[in-house]
Amino acid sequence: MAIISCPGCGKKVSDKAATCDHCGFMLGAHDSESLARKSRLQRSQQLSRLVSQQMLAILLFIAGIGAFFYDWGTTGMGPWIPYIGGVLAAISFIWYLITRGRIYILKKQR
Ligand SMILES: [Zn+2]
């Protein structure tokens, strides 16, 4: 018996189950090879989504750091931009760490 990801909802189900416990997807209607292919495809799509999220987080982090150190002047929004940049850098750094962790977990799964 093996544990696979349900093609319907992505949750873990036994490959011997006729229907998914979580969403009722008819697993029996598909042979195990097409199920494995589907879950592989789903995983590589999720992985590439996470990788582009990670890239975006790095870009936002760099932009935030840049805004933090740049001299925006003392008029209008000028004095506030470094604070916004700092907050942006902090948020994107946390986002980056979360995305990294999710990529790590995804790669560890078989
Ligand atoms: Zn399901």
Report the number of secondary-structure helices (H) and strands (E) in the chain. Answer: 2, 2
Q: How far is the CA of 13 from the centre of ligand 1 (A)?
A: 8
Tell me the residue range of the domain where 10 lies. 1-30
Domain match, 26 and 50 both: no
Domain match, 56 and 96 both: yes
Domain match, 98 and 69 both: yes
Instruction: Let me know how long the chain is.
Output: 110
Q: How far is the CA of 97 from the centre of ligand 1 (A)?
A: 28
pLDDT tens string 59-101: 999 999 999 998 888 888 888 999 999 999 999 999 999 999 9
Q: How many CB atoms lie within 10 A of CB 3?
A: 10
- SS3 label, residue 3: strand
Domain match, 57 and 96 both: yes
Mean pLDDT of all residues belonging to the chain: 88
Residue 35 lies in a domain: no
Domain match, 61 and 22 both: no
Q: What domain count does the chain have?
A: 2
- Which residues are close to ligand 1, an ion, with C-beta < 5 A? 6, 8-9, 20, 22-23, 25
Q: Are 45 and 34 in contact (CB under 8 A)?
A: no
Say whether pLDDT at 44 is over 80. Answer: yes
Q: Are 109 and 46 in contact (CB under 8 A)?
A: no
Domain match, 96 and 46 both: yes
